[in-house]
Amino acid sequence: MLELTNLDAFYGQSHILHDISLRLEDGAGVAIVGLNGMGKSTLLKSIMGAGPTVRGGVRFDGKDIASLLPHQRARLGLALVPEDRRIYPHLTVAENLALAGYARIEGRTPYSVEEVLEFFPLLKKLAGRKGFQLSGGEQQLAAVARAVLARPRFLLLDEPTEGLAPLIVDAMGDEIQAIRRREKMALLLAEQNVDFARACTEHVMVLNVGRIAFSGTWAEFDADPTIRDRHLSL
């Protein structure tokens, strides 16, 4: 289980997240939705220890991990796909995927590159292409596939559909759902595309200026249309 308790996050003197509490059970799916600048990316980076200064509790299976470095958290079973993808431009797709094997969880065998390429058919034909030769959508698929290779228990996805063609969005959604079922993998998804978020998760949390404005099931979210009107409309 991943648990945040009264978490605050800062960049320098800027207070970005305020009193965030969240429990993510193994196998569960939670979408973090909200407009740009509401703190979604900061929340995922705070969990991973990848940038913000964090105060409050970050616990993994009941153990405090706030002092651990990002690579140490990865080896516990956390995997972050950042919004900027971080694909190595002069490595091939296959080589980018292979790097994830170094983040393996102790006692758990990662997937092979060949297995992961089977999960993502759109990437299979691109295995020998270098990162700088990929489109934005192809880079995003490669970033998700790379995170999956290590077979993490908790997958953190940051705005995976931004700027992508509908075909790639649909393919990514299908693969994420299939992998979650196969691995019983938990998903924490930061996303503005509510339809995609709904398809991939069971629960939703709405962030507004770094604070939780709503947390519940999608049915509860739908039951109160003022939540969307107030926090998700430009």
In the chain, the domains with their CATH numbers are 2-231 (3.40.50.300)
Question: CA 94 to CA 108: how far, in whole Å?
Answer: 21
- Going by the DSSP 8-state scheme, the letter that residue 187 receives in this structure is E
- Number of other residues whose CB lies within 10 A of the CB of residue 69: 12
Segment 66-85 shows an average pLDDT of 91
Render pLDDT for 104-151 as a digit per residue (tens, 0 to 9): 787 788 999 999 999 888 899 999 999 999 988 889 889 999 999 999
Q: Can you read off the two tokens belonging to residue 142?
A: 């490669």
Question: CA 81 to CA 158: how far, in whole Å?
Answer: 6
Segment 48-65 shows an average pLDDT of 94
Whether 44 contacts 30, CB under 8 Å: no
Question: CA 172 to CA 162: how far, in whole Å?
Answer: 12
Phi-psi map region of 93: left, alpha, beta (phi>0 left; psi -120 to 50 alpha): alpha
Segment 218-230 shows an average pLDDT of 91
Question: CA 127 to CA 146: how far, in whole Å?
Answer: 12
Whether 210 contacts 218, CB under 8 Å: no
Residue 216 vs residue 106, higher pLDDT: 216
Q: Which residue is associated with the tokens 């034909």?
A: 125
**Predicted local distance difference test score (pLDDT) of residue 228:** 87
**Predicted local distance difference test score (pLDDT) of residue 233:** 74
Based on the number of CB atoms within 10 Å of its own CB, is 40 exposed (0-12), middle (13-18) or buried (19 or more)? buried
